[in-house]
Structure 1
Amino acid sequence: MIKAQYEDKLLVIELLMKSFDDNQSVNYIIKQDHERTQRIYALMDYSFAMCYRFGEVWLSNDKQACALILYPHQKKTSLQSVWWDIKLIFQSIGVNRIGKAMKREALIKKKQPSEPMVYLWFIGVNPKYQHTGIGSRLLKEVLVDAQTKGLPIYLETSTEKNLPWYQRFGFRIYDELVLTYVLHFLKYEPAK
């Protein structure tokens, strides 16, 4: 696994856009209009910025997969992070949908613990290379990194077919949130 550099931002955004184009959770939050593609781009740009600043962005060795990791316990509010939030509202969510987005985030926060953690925000594989083991290798490396740090990993997924994949690596479902889709909350506890 390669730690992404800022110069890798466009590559990471493109990988995520391709991987999450039809994702229920992403499409729930993104305003669905003729600018949908640009709105997904803005969401992934925001996610990259937040993880690059308050976490880590990883690429597979062949650069066909990426993982965005956030350390919520290290996240700080700054002028820059507020600016990123404002851009997200205007470029991705839409001003008239901010209430819906804030309600969803509040519901998610209630289900997430406040302990230090590795938050696996996104893991995506170029669709041309899915089901070839690239994502599995990247996830294994994320697990090893979390083990080294002694931190649990948390994530949410709305993609039902991915649940067995995560469970194969030791993740367990600890909660669910029903919106217009079901959002599954998963946790991986590293061995002590």
Structure 2
Amino acid sequence: MIKAEAVDKTTVINILSYSFKDNQSVKYVVRNDINSFERIKALMDYSFEMCSMFGEVWMTDDKKGCALILYPQNKKTTARSLWLNIRLIFQAISIFGVSKTLKREAKIQQIQPNEKMAYLWFIGVDPTFQKKGVGSKLLMQIISRFSEMNLPLYLETSTQKNIPWYQSFGFEIYNQMTLGYSLSFLKRRPDH
């Protein structure tokens, strides 16, 4: 696993955009119209930038898979983060979706614990390399990293078929929410 750099941004955005183009949670946030895929790319661009500022972006050695990790405890309002939020509204969410998105985020914030953590925002694999162990290897490396840092790893998923996969790596469901789709909250404590 290698740390992504600015030159890897397009590759990361493409991997995640194709990996999440049918994701219910992403579709809930992103305005659904003729430009939906471009809007998903804008969301992934935003996520890449936020994790570059307040977390980490990791890639597999062959750059076929990637993961965006956010440290919520490090997140703060800056001129750049404000600009990114404004750009996200116009490029991905639309003015009409802001209220719905803010309500969703507030509900999620109520469920997420207020503790020092690593938040696995997105993990994806180039579609031509999916189901070949690339994502599993990356997730194992991420788990190892955060176990060494003694940080719990949190995530949400709206893809119910992925829950057994996460559970096979020691994640446990700690809450669920319905927003017109089911959103499951998972956590994994560091190995000791």
Match of 2:110 in 1: 110
Deviation of the 1:113 alpha carbon: 0.6
Instruction: Return the alpha-carbon distance in structure 2 between the equivalents of residues 152 and 95 of structure 1.
Output: 35
Matched, 1:121 2:118: no
Matched ranges for 1:37-186 at <5 A: 37-186=37-186
Aligned-residue Cα RMSD (Å) equals 0.6
Instruction: Return the alpha-carbon distance in structure 2 between the equivalents of residues 163 and 156 of structure 1.
Output: 10
Letter in structure 1 aligned against 2:147: Q
Instruction: Return the alpha-carbon distance in structure 2 between the equivalents of residues 4 and 96 of structure 1.
Output: 33
Instruction: Return the alpha-carbon distance in structure 2 between the equivalents of residues 178 and 96 of structure 1.
Output: 21
Q: Identity over aligned residues, as a percent?
A: 54
Instruction: Return the alpha-carbon distance in structure 2 between the equivalents of residues 74 and 144 of structure 1.
Output: 21
SS at match of 2:62: coil
Instruction: Return the alpha-carbon distance in structure 2 between the equivalents of residues 87 and 28 of structure 1.
Output: 18
* Structure 1 portions without partners, runs of 5+: none
SS at match of 1:190: coil
Where has structure 1 moved over 2 Å in runs of 4 or more?
A: none
Q: What are the Cα deviations for residues 127-183 of structure 1, in whole angstroms up to 9, with x where unaligned?
A: 111110000000000001101111000000000110000000000000001011000
SS at match of 2:170: coil
SS at match of 1:162: helix
* Structure 2 portions without partners, runs of 5+: none
SS at match of 1:96: helix
Deviation of the 1:191 alpha carbon: 2.1
Deviation of the 1:46 alpha carbon: 0.1
Instruction: Return the alpha-carbon distance in structure 1 between the equivalents of residues 158 and 43 of structure 2.
Output: 17
Deviation of the 1:29 alpha carbon: 0.6
